[in-house]
Structure formats: structure tokens, C-alpha cells
Chain A
Amino acid sequence: MKTGESTVIASHRTQFMPLAFIRTLEKRFVQQVKDFFLTMQEFFFFSLRAFMAFPKMIRYWRDVLDQATICGTDSIPIVLVSAISIGALLAIEVGNLLEDFGAKTMLGRSTALSVIRELGPLLMGLMLSARFGSRNGAELGAMQISEQIDALRAFGTDPIAKLVMPRLLAALIMFLPLTALSDFAGLQSAAYMAEHYHRIDPGIFWNAVYPRLVAKDFVVGFLKAPVFAIIITLVSSFNGFSARGGTAGVGRSTIKGIVVSSGLVLIANFYVSKIVLENM
């Protein structure tokens, strides 16, 4: 090859390589956007089918009870641990802060608002996203990989009615008492720390809690329970159903389920508070 020819080829490469690279990037971006909207569409129909399967709850009542045990009774320890620790921590920190303003007697009120409106349901949501969501993702993912979900369909059973609806219904029922438990445990531990750390009389603490709580505070807190139940169950189950590629695929789908549902729980927590507080 002559020197002149090689120079021409080299100059072509320098001209076209970045263009080709940009085109590939553009193609990949378009594909990713397309995939995202396709996934959203699939998720929408998946969720719709889960809700439409509610009339089959009588047929699958045993599955609903099993799932209620898993997401409700079995989750009590983790909900208690997180609520007690955050309630105690909140009492210490907020108490210290209020002491600077000479308003330590307001500790009950500020702790109650934080726990009932925000931290009680939020912590419960995050803990259940990790516990119940990961279980759903891994279990359903393993069933998908081992063709058990195909087997259900082959035997004339709707896998969403059999596997997802009971999980969704159980979560909708059990997240409410778990929120109440989380609130109760958080407030009790805060009261304990107020008495033993800040030397506040329990009567003063509780007097600042009960008379001042209004319906709005409970609505904000308890409305989050069904919202989180829907997010956690549907996102984790959808990811389980979408698992591909062996055991590594199950791991990927489980992680994705937890990350996405936890993120959505945080976002939903903000918007539920905002909407209710602005409108009540």
C-alpha cells in the first residue's frame, strides 16, 4: 500500500469512527427507551391482572392465609426492632435539640408526629421491601427459571391469580396492623427514652402526644400502608416473573425488585404526605 493511500484510509477512519460510535450510542439509547416503555406496559397489564384476580380470593384463601403469615406475623420481629431503635434515637436527638430552646416538654408531640406520620410507616415499608419483597422476587424468580410458572399455565391455572393476588391481598391486609404496631413500638421506646434519658415525666410525655394528634396525622400514616403494600408486592412479583438466565438471573431480578420498590416507597412516602397535608 502506498503512503498516500494509507493516509486517506486513516483520515476516513478518524472521520467516520466517532460518527459510527454516536450512531451506535443513539441506537442503544432508542432501544433502551423502547425497552423501558415496553416494560412499563407489561407492568401495567401485570398489575391490572393481579387486581382483576381479586374475585378468586375465595378459591385461593389458603394461599392468602399463608402469605398473610409470611408478610404479617413473620415480619413482626424486624418491624419491632426497627421501630424501637428509631423511636429511641429520635427521642434522644430531638430531646437534645428541644432542650436548647427550653421546650423539652414538647418532645412527646414532635416524636409522635414524626413516628405516626413518617418514620413508622416508612421504616416498616423499607423493612418489608427487603424482607417480603426479596422473598417474593427470589421465590417467583426460581419458579420462573424452573418452569413452574409455565407448568401452572400448562395445567390451566392463572399464575397471577394463584401466586400474585394472594401476596397482594395479604400485604394490603397485613401492612395496616404492622403500621400500627410500628407506630406503637416507636412511641413506647421514645417514651422510655424520654423518661430515662431526658428525665421527662411519662405523664407530660403522653399528655403532649394524645390530645394534640388529629385525624390528619393518622390518615397520612395509615394511607401509606396500602400504597406501600401495592408497590412492594407488584414490583417484586413482576421482577420475579421476569427472571431469565438461571440462578444469576434470579439474583438480578431479586435485587432489582428490592432497589426499585425501596426507591418507589421513598418517593410515595413524600407524595402521600404532601397530598394529604395539603388537602386536609
Chain B
Amino acid sequence: MIELRNVSLKYGDKEILKNVSLTVRDNTIKAILGPSGVGKSTILKLMLGLIKPNKGQVIVDGTDITGMKETALYGIRRKMGMVFQGNALFDSLTISQNLGFFLRENLKLPEDEIRLKVAEQIQFAGLEGYEDQLPESLSGGMRRRVAIGRALIFKPHMILFDEPTAGLDPVSSKKILSLISSLRHNNNLGAVIVTHIIDDVFNVADSVAVLYQGEIIFDDVTEKLHESEHQFIRSILSDKILEL
């Protein structure tokens, strides 16, 4: 379980997050919805301890990670896999090397076992035949699947997705969303999805938090979003995609 308790964050004079509190339970999919530049991706980085809040606490599985040192955070980060918005694949490594990166870096596994796990992920992501290609030679959807495979390979409890369908064509978007849905059913995983596309929320999320002007203005099960009277939520429900 991941919890943000009264988290505030400033970049210079700009207040990005104001007293944000939210909880992500195990084996559930939580969406964080909001327009671009509002601090959604920042929330994911806070959950991983990549940035520290000015105020408040970030708690992962009962451990307060707010004041933790970088080396102590490595253990916490192994509980979470992250799929970055631009995929953040290591562009000098092949697809297989990208997938096996974590295993080679952090676990002292025999090379045969690593190859087996990489092959499993290649199959899961439907990328057979692309093992030795560099990320630049793949399409956007394929790269996103590699990024998901890379985040899954070390069997985390929770996956954090930063705009998983942004910039993808409708077919690739559908594939990615069904991949995310299958994770919970097949792998018993929880997920946090940051998005500005409301259809993605209704397609995969159990609950949704809406971030607006640095504050959470809605946090409940997805179905209840329709009942909200907040003007911003009414407007995004009618527009479907948040205008930036």
C-alpha cells in the first residue's frame, strides 16, 4: 500500500502540490487524473522517492520513506516498477538487455535464469524477433510494451504508469490498456496510472483521484466520478480528454 499524507511540494516559488493525501491499496488500480503540468507525474516520483516533498509524508507498506537516504530507498523501489512517460528505455542497450537490466544489476542470478526471464517478458510483450534490436527501431507501442516488461521483470507489488497511452495510436492504446488490466488479474498486481485521458480511467481503474490546481478535488471509486458536482470534473466528463 502507498500513502501520501498531506504532501506539499514547491519548485522555486511555484506550488506544485498543496496538502495532497491519497492512498493506493494493494491489488487495485488507481488512476490520477488531471491536466498536463499539474503535478501528476510528480506524485509518481514522490512515491518512488525520486523527489522529496517539502511537507508531509510518503508511506510505502507502512515505512515512511520521506527522509530516507538514496541507498535505503533502493529496497523500497524494488517493490514498485515504473513505466515512464517517454518509456526511458536505455537507448544504447538492446531490447533484451533493457529487459534484463534490473536482474543483471541487482540480483545475483545465473545468466541462464536471466535469459529465461527475459524470454518470458519478450513473449508477454509480444516482441518475439525484436530481442536484439535497439529501442529506436521499434514503434511507440512496442517501446511502451518493452518499458512495461522491464518494470514487471522483477515481480514488483505495484506498477506506476506515467501517461501509459499518451502519444499512441488507438490500436496500441487499446493493447496497452488490456495489458494493464491483465496484470491485476494474472499477476495480482496493483497499479497507479497517471493520465489526462478520461476513457483510460473508465477502462482500467478501480478508483480515481482528480488533481486540479495542485489539490485533490475528488478521490473515490471510478463510478462515483459521474456523481461529482465539481465544475472541473463536469467539464472533463463532457470533453473526455483534458484540454491542455
Contact = CB atoms under 8 A, between A and B. Distances in A.
Contacts, number: 45
A150 B42 CA distance: 12
Nearest to A150: B50
A148 B88 CA distance: 5
B5 to A, nearest CB: 22
Interface string A135-149: 000000000001110
Interface stretch (A73-81, A88-96, A154-162): A154-162
A30 B80 CA distance: 41
A155 B102 CA distance: 6
Nearest to A153: B50
B18 interface: no
B90 A154 contact: no
Nearest to A142: B91
A148 B91 contact: yes
Contacts of A213: none
Interface residues of A, number: 11
A151 B84 contact: yes
A163 to B, nearest CB: 11
B48 A151 contact: no
Interface residues of B, number: 22
Contacts of B105: 155-157
Interface stretch (B70-78, B178-186, B189-197): B70-78
B45 interface: yes
Interface string B103-143: 00110000000000000000000000000000000000000
Interface string B39-59: 000000100101000000000
Interface of B: 45, 48, 50, 70-71, 74-75, 77-78, 80, 82, 84-86, 88-91, 101-102, 105-106
Instruction: List the 7 closest pairs (A to B, CB-CB), nearest first.
Output: A151-B88, A156-B74, A147-B88, A154-B82, A147-B84, A155-B102, A148-B88
10 contacts: A146-B91, A150-B45, A150-B50, A151-B88, A154-B80, A155-B101, A155-B106, A156-B105, A157-B105, A158-B71
Interface of A: 146-148, 150-151, 153-158
